[in-house]
C-alpha cells in the first residue's frame, strides 16, 4: 500500500513522539526500582531526584539474604509453580483432550458446567474454601496451595486446550486408533507433541499466576514464615510510610521477584501474546 504524505507526516509528528514518550513513562518505574535498589539507607531518603545513585551499593543484592530468607521463599514459591505447571500441562490437557476428542455421555453438560465455573467470581470461594481446608486441618500447611493446582483446577486452561486440540487433524488420531492405539496413547504420542503453542501458553500462565499469587498464601500460610512465598515476603518487607528507610531493600526483593518473570517473558513472548490474544478475543 502506498502511504499518503499526510499520513507519513502525522506518523513522524504525532505517532513516534507519543510512542517514545509513552515508552519512557512505561519503563520509568522499572528504572526507578533498579536505581533505588542500589541506594544506601542514607541516599534512599534524599529529597531530590537522584536516578544514578551515589554511591552505587551493589552489595544490597547480597546483604538482603541476611535480612530475609529469600532462598526459602523462592523454594516455597517454586513448589506452587511446579504443582501449577504439572496440573496445567498434564491434568488440564487430559481433560481438554476428552472434551475435544472423546465421545462420552453427558459431555456437553459437563462442558457447560466447565464454562459456568469459568464465570464464577473467585470472591464466593474464598471463605468456604478456607472453612473446608480448616475443617480438614490443612490451614497452616502448603496443601491448600498445592492440591487445587495439582488437580488442574483451572477451567480456562482446559478450555484453551480443548479449543487448540479441536484444530488438530482428525486423520492423525484416526490412523493411530486403527492401529490399536489407546486414547491415552493418542493423547501422549499424537496430540501432545503437536500442541506446543498451547502447552507453552498454559505453562507460562501457570508459572505467572503461581508466582504472583498473594491472597491464598496470605490466607493459608498466615504467620508461618517458614512457609512464606516471595509475594508474602516482599509484602512483609514493607513497613509503614514512616519506615521508608528500608525502601532500597524492598526494591532489591522486587527486582529478584521480577527477573524470573522477565526471563519467562523473554523465552515465551510469542506464546504468551498468542495466549493473551486468544483469551481476549474469543474467550
Partner 1 sequence: MLVPIQEFLHRHRTKWVGFAFILPWIVAALWFDLIPFVVNLLLSFTDYSVSTSIPNWTGTKNFNEIFTLDPLFSKSLGNTVYYLALSVPVRLVVALAIAILLNLRIMALGAFRTIFYVPSVVPLVAVSIIFFGMFNARYGIFNQVLILLDLPPVRWLTRPEWVKPAMVIMSTWGFGAQMVIFLAGLQGIPAELYEAAEMDGGNYWQKLFRITVPMLTPVIFFNLIIGIIGGFQVFASAYVLLGPGGGALNAGLFYVIHIYNNAFSYFRLGYAAALSVVLFLIILFFTIVMVRTSDRWVYYGDT
Among 21, 41, 46, 115, binds partner 1 (CB under 8 A): 46
Among 15, 21, 56, 115, binds partner 1 (CB under 8 A): 15
Of residues 214-233, those binding partner 1 (CB under 8 A): 214-215, 218-219, 230-231
Q: Does residue 255 contact residue 70 with C-beta atoms inside 8 Å?
A: no
94 versus 199: smaller Cβ distance to partner 1: 94
Span near partner 1 by CB under 8 A; candidates 25-33, 60-68, 168-176, 189-197: 25-33
Which residues have CB under 8 Å from 257's CB, separation 6+? 211, 230, 231, 234
| Least CB distance to partner 1 at residue 203 (A) | 14
Of residues 142-171, those binding partner 1 (CB under 8 A): 148, 151-153, 155, 158
| Least CB distance to partner 1 at residue 63 (A) | 18
| Least CB distance to partner 1 at residue 235 (A) | 5
| Least CB distance to partner 1 at residue 199 (A) | 16
Span near partner 1 by CB under 8 A; candidates 59-67, 166-174, 191-199, 255-263: 255-263
Span near partner 1 by CB under 8 A; candidates 57-65, 68-76, 194-202, 264-272: 264-272
Interface with partner 1, residue 32, by CB under 8 A: yes
| Least CB distance to partner 1 at residue 218 (A) | 8
56 versus 184: smaller Cβ distance to partner 1: 184
Of residues 72-131, those binding partner 1 (CB under 8 A): 91-92, 94-95, 97-99, 102-105, 107, 110, 113-114, 117, 119-131
Amino acid at each position: 500500500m502506498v502511504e499518503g504524505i499526510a499520513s507519513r507526516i502525522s506518523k513522524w509528528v504525532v505517532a513516534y513522539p507519543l510512542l517514545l514518550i509513552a515508552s519512557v513513562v512505561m519503563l520509568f518505574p522499572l528504572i526507578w526500582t533498579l536505581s533505588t535498589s542500589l541506594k544506601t539507607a542514607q541516599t534512599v531518603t534524599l529529597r531530590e531526584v537522584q536516578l544514578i545513585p551515589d554511591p552505587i551499593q551493589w552489595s544490597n543484592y547480597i546483604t538482603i539474604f541476611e535480612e530475609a530468607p529469600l532462598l526459602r521463599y523462592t523454594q516455597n514459591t517454586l513448589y506452587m509453580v511446579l504443582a501449577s505447571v504439572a496440573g496445567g500441562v498434564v491434568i488440564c490437557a487430559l481433560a481438554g483432550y476428552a472434551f475435544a476428542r472423546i465421545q462420552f455421555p453427558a459431555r456437553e453438560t459437563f462442558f457447560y458446567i466447565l464454562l459456568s465455573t469459568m464465570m464464577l467470581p473467585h470472591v464466593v470461594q474464598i471463605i468456604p474454601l478456607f472453612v473446608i481446608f480448616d475443617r480438614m486441618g490443612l490451614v497452616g500447611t502448603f496443601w491448600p496451595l498445592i492440591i487445587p493446582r495439582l488437580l488442574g483446577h483451572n477451567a480456562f486452561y482446559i478450555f484453551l486446550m480443548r479449543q487448540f486440540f479441536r484444530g488438530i487433524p482428525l486423520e492423525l488420531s484416526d490412523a493411530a486408533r486403527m492401529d490399536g492405539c489407546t486414547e491415552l496413547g493418542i493423547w501422549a504420542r499424537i496430540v501432545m507433541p503437536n500442541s506446543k503453542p498451547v502447552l507453552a501458553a498454559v505453562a507460562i500462565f501457570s508459572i505467572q499466576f503461581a508466582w504472583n499469587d498473594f491472597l491464598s498464601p496470605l490466607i493459608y500460610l498466615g504467620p508461618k514464615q517458614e512457609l512464606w512465598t516471595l509475594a508474602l515476603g516482599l509484602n512483609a518487607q514493607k513497613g509503614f510510610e514512616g519506615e521508608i528507610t528500608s525502601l532500597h531493600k524492598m526494591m532489591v526483593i522486587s527486582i529478584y521477584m521480577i527477573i524470573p518473570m522477565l526471563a519467562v517473558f523473554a523465552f515465551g513472548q510469542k506464546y504468551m501474546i498468542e495466549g493473551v490474544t486468544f483469551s481476549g478475543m474469543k474467550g
